[in-house]
Amino acid sequence: MKLSALLVTSLATSVFASYTPVKVDCPDSPLLRQPKGLQENEAAYISSRQNKTKPALGAFLKQQNIGDFDVDSFLSKASPKIALAAAGGGLRATLMGIGTFQALDNRTENSTLAGYLQAADYMSGLSGGSWLVGFLAINDFPDLETLFSAFDNIFNLPGSMGTVGMLAKVFIDSLQKLKAGYQTSVTDQWGRLIYLLLGNAGLLKTDINWSDIRNLTSFTSHEMPFPIILGTSVFPGTSFDAQYITYNNSVMEMTPYEFGTWDKNIRNFIDIHYLGTELENGKPVGQCTTNYDNAGLLMGISSNVFNTGLDALGVDGIFGILVEDLMKLLEIINDSSYRLGVVSPNPFYKQDDLPSNQTISRGLMVCDGGFDLETIPILPFLQPEREVDVVISMDPSLDTPEGWPNGECIRHTAAKSAWEFGEGVFPQIPDNATFLSDNLTTKPVFFGCNITNLKTFDNSDRYSPVIVYVPMYNISYVSNFSTGKLIYTKEESFGTVNNAYNMMTRTNLTQDEDWGKCLGCVSILRELQRLNETIPGDCQKCFSNYCYN
Ligand SMILES: *[C@@H]1O[C@H](CO)[C@@H](O)[C@H](O)[C@H]1NC(C)=O
Ligand SMILES: *[C@@H]1O[C@H](CO)[C@@H](O)[C@H](O)[C@H]1NC(C)=O
Ligand SMILES: *[C@@H]1O[C@H](CO)[C@@H](O)[C@H](O)[C@H]1NC(C)=O
Ligand SMILES: *[C@@H]1O[C@H](CO)[C@@H](O)[C@H](O)[C@H]1NC(C)=O
Ligand SMILES: *[C@@H]1O[C@H](CO)[C@@H](O)[C@H](O)[C@H]1NC(C)=O
Ligand SMILES: *[C@@H]1O[C@H](CO)[C@@H](O)[C@H](O)[C@H]1NC(C)=O
Ligand SMILES: *[C@@H]1O[C@H](CO)[C@@H](O)[C@H](O)[C@H]1NC(C)=O
Ligand SMILES: *[C@@H]1O[C@H](CO)[C@@H](O)[C@H](O)[C@H]1NC(C)=O
Ligand SMILES: *[C@@H]1O[C@H](CO)[C@@H](O)[C@H](O)[C@H]1NC(C)=O
Ligand SMILES: *[C@@H]1O[C@H](CO)[C@@H](O)[C@H](O)[C@H]1NC(C)=O
Ligand SMILES: *[C@@H]1O[C@H](CO)[C@@H](O)[C@H](O)[C@H]1NC(C)=O
Ligand SMILES: *[C@@H]1O[C@H](CO)[C@@H](O)[C@H](O)[C@H]1NC(C)=O
């Protein structure tokens, strides 16, 4: 089957979509922000969300029966903030993330940790995890069973739309964007393809912009944790090869309000609704652009590991062949230097006062959120402005020769934190050998409970959040499939999700009946510390079990 021939015959029948950016008049307010604090709409969202998460956390805590602890009196003076971080690692990571979130969702039948998802203020995702967080957000926060069925069907090509029609649409949409004067990259087509595949699998009724999340019911009613997905920015004249990516490469956040980074070398955000606007030194040149922030494009940027070496990743089956063929074809459309994601025009172009040389290029290059090796998206929650107290994270990495985690990604987060906030702010993570010999890879572990040896950033009263690290382990299924594996049998996808579910729930509390209590305890720890309150005895017992340091 030769794709190009099929494409030509199907061009006539395909439908045009609203992928093309649209010019509009610029708003009166500035498009860029150099943050002194949280973006005001995010701050307002979290404040309203706390009105939901505090009662939800209260209910969760009461269910856990923590001895000598008065939940209502505590919550009347404390406001714990909880974040969930969905890591990268291809579809394996998406599935592990689904299992983790499912274990915490009160819509999951019989879940032993039900309601914790409802108590979470934030959720972040990168690469495979951006598919989870992104599709949860743009689908108005469906339950995880619904999301899982869609992912389970995603790669059963062809679907109702037909493979050829879908690829033709990807092709035409890119051409339209180019014709409108916007540089495209392979990431445009990759993101578009993932997006259409999921649409085809029953999710998504319409093309959605990332900023449209603001108008979804579960967002306006603050029912969903505030979503953030991440990409890694690349310096002009370098590439995405690991040797070029250091802690200086700014991590780009994409929230429903903003695109940009806290990184000290750029520390700038653009209103994401106007992403794609041509700016010079922060001022729009001519009209503004909207509809650039296509959700598929942004998730594509976060997950563009697939643009860079399908063979190395072990992409298999018909999908591998299709994508490889498609990519070759698309080299014609894209300038061949654009294997990376490109946000063009670059919102930070010619900004005089920024130390980063990323202000010299017309297009801002962004690659997979995991290319900085911080595979769990914890960084957004280390920003003191967000005041996050605890981050729940599943690590689906394939670090060891046998393909299981050894803590590598959080060691990179620790190093990034040292670069950004100084040494000693992030809890110490042991080296790989110690990590394995201390058995931190078979059950959940808490990093940073004890603040005695921790510093705060800028002498604030906020310590780094406690990291609840849940490793992928063969608790009920050998789920360490390769990152490139995109076709799962029902047994494999269910096994992988269920394995994460069991890791997160300690196999429905059968491995530790106090695990729910311990999850509750770790969620209130930072606020107890800030208030100088005695740690309840039940919690002390939990901490001696689960705290590494
Ligand atoms: C939170 O709830 C309180 C009490 O119901 C209300 O007074 C307050 O306005 C709410 N805050 C937000 C930001 O919605
Ligand atoms: C889940 O929690 C939310 C918020 O606390 C609540 O509104 C909803 O009714 C709960 N749903 C179920 C199925 O318990
Ligand atoms: C939930 O528990 C009930 C009662 O034990 C059981 O009948 C039902 O099958 C369970 N549902 C699931 C999805 O496990
Ligand atoms: C744990 O409970 C869930 C929900 O009831 C169920 O689907 C799952 O099979 C249980 N796991 C084990 C190992 O029994
Ligand atoms: C979203 O809601 C705001 C406020 O209600 C409205 O001004 C805006 O046009 C809406 N945007 C879309 C894309 O519907
Ligand atoms: C931009 O800065 C990076 C990091 O310092 C450097 O590696 C790269 O060569 C620079 N690019 C240009 C075009 O100066
Ligand atoms: C990275 O940043 C540090 C501190 O800002 C600086 O000293 C170093 O030269 C930078 N390295 C590169 C490759 O840009
Ligand atoms: C996406 O944004 C464009 C431009 O603002 C708008 O025309 C389009 O309706 C938006 N899409 C949706 C689904 O709201
Ligand atoms: C541990 O890390 C060191 C240094 O990065 C590396 O050389 C070694 O191969 C790693 N060992 C294991 C078991 O992963
Ligand atoms: C490591 O943890 C596993 C699972 O909890 C347990 O079976 C094993 O005995 C532990 N090994 C050590 C050395 O503590
Ligand atoms: C916290 O760490 C300090 C210094 O290492 C130690 O003295 C103290 O006992 C620790 N506290 C707890 C509760 O483990
Ligand atoms: C907690 O104790 C510290 C040190 O003793 C003190 O500086 C701080 O003000 C106390 N905080 C509260 C809320 O009492």
What is the average per-residue pLDDT within 361-383? 93
Confidence of residue 4 (pLDDT cuts 50, 70, 90): very low
User: pLDDT digit string (tens) for 508-541?
Assistant: 999 999 999 999 999 999 999 999 999 999 999 9
**443 Cβ inside 6 Å of ligand 10:** yes
**462 Cβ inside 6 Å of ligand 10:** no
The reported pLDDT for the residue numbered 2 is 47
Cα of 208 from ligand 8 centre, angstroms: 7
**160 Cβ inside 6 Å of ligand 7:** no
User: pLDDT digit string (tens) for 59-106?
Assistant: 999 999 999 999 999 999 999 999 999 999 999 999 999 999 999 999
Query: When comparing pLDDT for 402 and 323, which is higher?
Result: 402
Protein residue with its CA nearest to atom 9 in ligand 10: 439
**Closest listed ligand to the CA of 107:** 2
Least confident of 112-126, 310-324, 369-383, 408-422: 310-324
Least confident of 83-92, 102-111, 480-489: 480-489
Give the nearest ligand 7 atom to 265 CA: 5
**118 Cβ inside 6 Å of ligand 2:** yes
Helix 490-505 / helix 90-104 crossing angle, nearest 10 deg: 50
What CA–CA distance (Å, rounded) separates 337 from 313? 21
What CA–CA distance (Å, rounded) separates 111 from 392? 17
Tell me the DSSP string of 78-145: ----EEEEE--SHHHHHHHHHHHHHHH-TTSTT-TTTTTGGG-SEEEEETHHHHHHHHHHHTTS--HH
Protein residue with its CA nearest to atom 8 in ligand 2: 106
Number of C-beta neighbours around residue 22 at 10 A: 13
Compute CA 213 distance to the chain's CA centroid, rounded to the nearest angstrom: 15
Query: When comparing pLDDT for 89 and 5, which is higher?
Result: 89
Least confident of 44-48, 170-174, 329-333, 397-401: 329-333
Binding pocket residue ranges, ligand 1, CB within 6 Å: 47-48, 51
Cα of 39 from ligand 5 centre, angstroms: 18
The reported pLDDT for the residue numbered 396 is 97
Tell me the DSSP string of 336-365: TTTTSEEESS-TTTT-TT-SSGGGS-SSEE
Query: Which residue shows structure tokens 């305890």?
Result: 521
**215 Cβ inside 6 Å of ligand 8:** no
Which percentage of the chain shows pLDDT scores above 70? 88
Whether the per-residue pLDDT at 12 is higher than 50: the answer is no
**Main-chain phi, psi angles of 173, to 5 degrees:** -60, -40
Give the nearest ligand 10 atom to 439 CA: 1
What CA–CA distance (Å, rounded) separates 232 from 247? 10
Cα of 137 from ligand 2 centre, angstroms: 17
**418 Cβ inside 6 Å of ligand 7:** no
Tokens of 337: 């230097």
User: pLDDT digit string (tens) for 245-261?
Assistant: 889 999 999 999 999 99
Give the nearest ligand 7 atom to 247 CA: 1
User: pLDDT digit string (tens) for 190-233?
Assistant: 888 888 877 767 777 677 899 999 999 999 999 999 999 999 99
What is the average per-residue pLDDT within 101-127? 97
What is the average per-residue pLDDT within 103-118? 97
Whether the per-residue pLDDT at 393 is higher than 90: the answer is yes
Give the nearest ligand 7 atom to 355 CA: 5
What CA–CA distance (Å, rounded) separates 160 from 199? 10
